[in-house]
Structure 1
């Protein structure tokens, strides 16, 4: 059911910019019309707003026709003392709740129960341990066994871990029996540290990689990258902007836009099972999924990027476009 393309739903939680419910619903509908049947969300995204909007947008569609993943590790608890303030974690929502790290078995169950309620679903297909890099012991020794048991009981279909840090993902691949790694921003056209050990290990162990954050938070999402765009959830440093501009220039010389090249590259490693693409509007979703399904850029473009030192020489060259099946 989880095809080569998925919709990342952080933007439904007002990441960076507020959108209304109608825009959120239209974004999900545009992804659906493009053939997308996998949707990734989390309590972290807008303090539950993404889950609520995703559930509302999917309501009425046959439950067995799509898959949803959400995450555990952050519990949302009421915070009346900050209710008039804005969420400090990059989402344009009131800080009426706060996030509490909790990777205990009880925390996993409480988090899933709350997510099911916000989504309005009776099951979640894939559950991911979210950003455990600073909580490795409880994530490995408490959260993972709890999810392993839920999978064995058939409560969830698949389990995994999501992070921007390849080191913690390496540990989970080596030490557990997870199904999926959600890799955020570490195998992109700008940087490829996951090539060192994570992606080869996933191929060897049969762990599916869902590649997310493939625009590095936005810098690779435009034809002409520039200062002021986000990179890894912060303002892009000048050196990174300069590198992105150089990549975009090479791509343009071969008639390829930077977003198209970014999507093709991110899907090109044999470990990558699904490309999870965030979109803020229906127009963005239509553009992103059209580009993701386009024919691959010419081999000469990748060769020039490698020759110019803009791409690692050991990165697999994309040969076939992803599809939504």
Structure 2
């Protein structure tokens, strides 16, 4: 896995509707920037993200990149009509929670068909914090069977919920977990138990949501930007502004520091960053490559704005 990965929710029309050509240009820009880790899911645009990603990767050397998708939601056809409530796509399908052995196998088969691939390098149980017993007791063993059969590579789970993720790591000792939004420059609850548990278990960590849905993606954060996919509350906007001010005094920017901070923990193998345009991909890759000066971290810690200086 490359240290910087492309989160592909935007390929499923998250927040903004894009064309197939624009989706391909995003993947092309990531490839040209050296990104070789691509994360998608059936949830993203009711399969649209997987279809677009698979088409954009077609023809590239299969051993040259890491492909990650997820299980836990199967897509069932529906004639309800209208638009999906989460992504800007027609509601041709509905999501059904299914952590059963058959549901996991069906989800993987459906994802591989949409992607046009015969295997996944990583398969994660998606957003199962409300179904922890089923995820741990049924879905994870089903993924382990598929790993043994060579259909998937590394297995684990992904969530925004640190309590669920910590329990999963301690009980399953998975190959990898995806921590979304809980180890960022804005907030670090994963430091308390989750990241130490990952170190103890030898579980590799993928960090998603490094911009907390958008609030940290701008040099000058402001009211109206997204946090957890909703308008950010005033106290978090003020905190982001304070962090941005310290970054500016040290010749850096908020998004550059956000990417670098998430990558700084020794358990972290990859940082996922999404993009709506090729320009955003190139900007994020440049920010990741350059990084802020090391003296930024103790300055932020001294101001009480981060819980721990990254390694």
TM bucket normalised to smaller:
over 0.9
- The 3-state SS of whatever aligns with 1:146 is helix
Instruction: Supply the RMSD in Å over aligned alpha carbons.
Output: 1.0
* Match of residue 27 from structure 2: 28
Q: Which of these residues, 173, 186, 191, is aligned with residue 195 of structure 1?
A: 191
1:317 is the counterpart of 2:303: no
Q: Render the CA deviation track for 1:164-193: whole Å, top value 9, x for unaligned.
A: 001111111100131001010000000000
TM-score for both structures, normalised by structure 1: 0.94
* Match of residue 285 from structure 2: 289
- The 3-state SS of whatever aligns with 1:118 is helix
- The 3-state SS of whatever aligns with 1:159 is strand
Contact 2:126 2:159 in 1 (8 A): yes
Distance in 2 (CA, whole Å) between partners of 1:236 and 1:146 is: 38
Distance in 2 (CA, whole Å) between partners of 1:4 and 1:304 is: 25
Distance in 1 (CA, whole Å) between partners of 2:135 and 2:200 is: 23
Contact 2:256 2:291 in 1 (8 A): no
* Match of residue 225 from structure 1: 221
Distance in 2 (CA, whole Å) between partners of 1:249 and 1:87 is: 39
Where does the alignment leave 5 or more consecutive residues of structure 2 unmatched? none
Distance in 2 (CA, whole Å) between partners of 1:62 and 1:261 is: 33
Contact 1:264 1:297 in 2 (8 A): no
Distance in 2 (CA, whole Å) between partners of 1:269 and 1:209 is: 9
Q: Render the CA deviation track for 1:215-265: whole Å, top value 9, x for unaligned.
A: 001110111111111101111111111111111111111110110010110
What aligned pairs does 1:107-122 form with structure 2 within 5 A after superposition? 107-122=103-118
* Match of residue 298 from structure 2: 303
Distance in 1 (CA, whole Å) between partners of 2:130 and 2:302 is: 37
Q: Render the CA deviation track for 1:92-126: whole Å, top value 9, x for unaligned.
A: 11111111111111110111111011101111111
- The 3-state SS of whatever aligns with 2:129 is coil
Q: Which of these residues, 171, 175, 197, is aligned with residue 171 of structure 2?
A: 175
1:148 is the counterpart of 2:144: yes
Distance in 1 (CA, whole Å) between partners of 2:181 and 2:48 is: 23
When residues 253 and 264 of structure 1 are mapped into structure 2, their CA distance, relative to the original with a 3 A threshold, is same
Contact 2:42 2:75 in 1 (8 A): yes
Q: Which of these residues, 125, 129, 148, is aligned with residue 129 of structure 1?
A: 125
TM-score for both structures, normalised by structure 2: 0.98
Contact 2:243 2:300 in 1 (8 A): yes
What aligned pairs does 1:1-325 form with structure 2 within 5 A after superposition? 2-81=1-80, 83=81, 85-89=82-86, 91-299=87-295, 301-312=296-307, 315-318=308-311
How far residue 5 of structure 1 moved from its aligned partner, in angstroms, is 1.3
Q: Render the CA deviation track for 1:18-53: whole Å, top value 9, x for unaligned.
A: 111111101101110111111000000011110000
How many pairs are equivalent?
A: 311
- The 3-state SS of whatever aligns with 1:160 is strand
- Please list every run of at least 4 consecutive aligned residues from structure 1 whose deviation after the TM superposition is greater than 6 angstroms: none
Contact 2:118 2:151 in 1 (8 A): no
Where does the alignment leave 5 or more consecutive residues of structure 1 unmatched? 319-325
- The 3-state SS of whatever aligns with 1:64 is helix
- The 3-state SS of whatever aligns with 1:69 is strand
Distance in 1 (CA, whole Å) between partners of 2:216 and 2:46 is: 26
How far residue 3 of structure 1 moved from its aligned partner, in angstroms, is 1.7
Contact 1:3 1:274 in 2 (8 A): yes
Q: Render the CA deviation track for 1:63-85: whole Å, top value 9, x for unaligned.
A: 1111100000001111102x2x2
How far residue 155 of structure 1 moved from its aligned partner, in angstroms, is 2.0
Distance in 2 (CA, whole Å) between partners of 1:295 and 1:219 is: 19
* Match of residue 323 from structure 1: none
How far residue 285 of structure 1 moved from its aligned partner, in angstroms, is 0.3
